[in-house]
């Protein structure tokens, strides 16, 4: 991934009922916890509207470079969110990491 900015995105579906308090809590907690990690920039939460796939939501964030991305992946808040929330509440996901094509 060299020294280019990285866009990290995950699209996912939760185990919770649509528009439930559990769904809302997961999305809000994801935003507040993950965006508080120092190397995370431009954190966004998305709701899927296309009928072309079964995923319902997306998280997207920007990292200045690979070092910032690695720091995020290893950060205790990220590790805890994945083990305590993501692995228990996400039924399916796809992770995509981009750098800008030159």
How would you write the pLDDT of the chain (102 residues) with one tens digit per residue? Answer: 456 999 999 999 999 999 999 999 999 999 999 999 999 999 999 999 999 999 999 999 999 999 999 999 999 999 999 999 999 999 999 999 999 777
Q: Is residue 73 part of a domain?
A: yes
* pTM reported for the whole predicted model: 0.91
User: Residue 19 sits in a domain of what CATH number?
Assistant: 3.30.70.100
Q: Is residue 23 part of a domain?
A: yes
Taking the CA atoms of 59, 71, 96 and 100 in sequence, report the sign of the dihedral they define.
positive
What total of structural domains would you count in the chain? Answer: 1
What does DSSP assign to residue 31?
A: H
Q: Is residue 1 part of a domain?
A: no
According to the model, what pLDDT value does residue 43 have?
98
Are residues 13 and 90 in contact, defined by beta-carbon separation less than 8 angstroms? yes
Cα(31)–Cα(11) distance, integer angstroms: 14
Structural domain including 63 reads 6-99
Cα(22)–Cα(28) distance, integer angstroms: 10
């Amino acid at each position: 991934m060299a020294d280019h900015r990285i866009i990290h995105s995950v699209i996912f579906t939760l185990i919770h009922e649509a528009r439930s308090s559990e769904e809302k809590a997961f999305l809000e907690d994801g935003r507040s916890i993950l965006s508080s990690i120092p190397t995370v920039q431009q954190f966004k939460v998305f709701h899927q509207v296309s009928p072309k796939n079964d995923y319902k939501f997306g998280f997207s964030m920007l990292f200045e470079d690979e070092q910032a991305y690695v720091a995020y992946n290893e950060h205790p808040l990220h590790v805890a969110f994945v083990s305590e929330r993501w692995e228990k509440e996400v039924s399916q996901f796809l992770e995509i990491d981009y750098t800008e094509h030159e």
